[in-house]
Structure 1
Amino acid sequence: MVIQNLKAADRVSYIRYASVYRDFKDIETFQNEISELLEPTNEPEKKKGSSIRPYTPKLIK
């Protein structure tokens, strides 16, 4: 699912997307989601920066 990939790639973008997609109704819901993101996990720390590359169109000669 897109939202899970976004969560793994960029937490700020994830929380922005999730707040709209999940239609957070109050600040507590928003705060709970952020708290979950801040909890340490057993997963190895990922390198900073995104592995997603922008689309670069090829020029036609």
Structure 2
Amino acid sequence: MTVLRGRLSIGLNDQNHHVYEAGTLLKIPFQTKMNVTNLHPETLELIVVKAPAPKS
């Protein structure tokens, strides 16, 4: 997950939210629960890449 613009507020598994600024690259392990929110007034823009794709 790459933050392009704004600030990302994300809680992973049962952790509290952490804030990441634009330009941050996050590597999130497979089967990690994510609680992604925009808690700030500016627009949040991000890219999510899932690789490899999960198997059925």
User: Scaled by the length of structure 1, what TM-score is found?
Assistant: 0.24
Greater relative contact order structure (CA < 8 Å, 6+ sep): 2
Name whichever structure is richer in helix by fraction: 1
Larger radius of gyration: 1
User: Scaled by the length of structure 2, what TM-score is found?
Assistant: 0.24
